[in-house]
């Protein structure tokens, strides 16, 4: 195997600030003269307008937002179920016990990512994708949808 050399101009030299005037980045080290952005730790947050009321707070907030009421499912791919033996019963409690689902969710959704290795699984999930359902039934598994 031969080592590849990067194309000319693909790699840049590190900017060596504060290494004297002849370096091109001496004295103020590219920070200009004084001011908040010249100070150590002197960064301003995104959307800050120098004390002026920011645009996001100036515009009116109207209408309904469904974000607070949306159903959030924990995603579980088919390849994740390889942690279970053939013919096992898989539910949210079993997934949490093995550390495959963590955090606060409204339920579990089975997705079709990867290959399903164990056969004849009995699944109890809240939602399922079409490809996952086909793959599970092809492997002899049974699916029960739980009402949340």
Looking at the whole model, is its pTM more than 0.75? no
Counting every residue, how long is the chain?
148
Instruction: Output the pLDDT for position 56.
Output: 93
pLDDT at 2 over 80: no
* 3-class secondary structure, 115: coil
List, for residues 46-64, the tens digit of each pLDDT value.
999 989 999 999 999 899 9
List, for residues 68-122, the tens digit of each pLDDT value.
899 999 999 999 988 889 889 999 999 999 999 999 999 999 999 998 888 889 9
> Which CATH number describes the domain made up of 71-145?
3.100.10.10
Mean pLDDT over residues 12-41, rounded? 89
Measured CA to CA in angstroms, residue 5 lies from 8, 10, 73, 112 at distances of 9, 10, 46, 40
String of DSSP letters for 78-108: GGGGGGSPTT-EE-HHHHHHTTSS-S--SEE
Q: Give the N- to C-terminal CA distance of the chain in Å, as an integer.
A: 55
Domain ranges across the chain: 71-145
């Amino acid at each position: 195997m031969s080592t590849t050399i990067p194309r000319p101009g693909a790699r840049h030299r590190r900017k060596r600030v504060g290494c004297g005037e002849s370096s091109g980045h001496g004295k103020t080290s590219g920070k200009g003269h004084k001011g908040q952005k010249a100070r150590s730790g002197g960064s301003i947050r995104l959307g800050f307008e120098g004390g002026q009321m920011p645009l996001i707070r100036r515009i009116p907030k109207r209408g309904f937002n469904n974000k607070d009421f949306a159903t959030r499912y924990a995603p579980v791919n088919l390849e994740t179920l390889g942690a279970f033996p053939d013919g096992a019963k898989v539910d949210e409690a079993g997934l949490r016990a093995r550390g495959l689902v963590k955090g606060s969710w409204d339920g579990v959704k089975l997705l079709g990512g990867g290959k399903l290795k164990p056969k004849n699984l009995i699944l109890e999930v809240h939602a399922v994708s079409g490809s996952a359902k086909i793959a599970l039934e092809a492997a002899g598994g049974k699916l029960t949808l739980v009402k949340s």
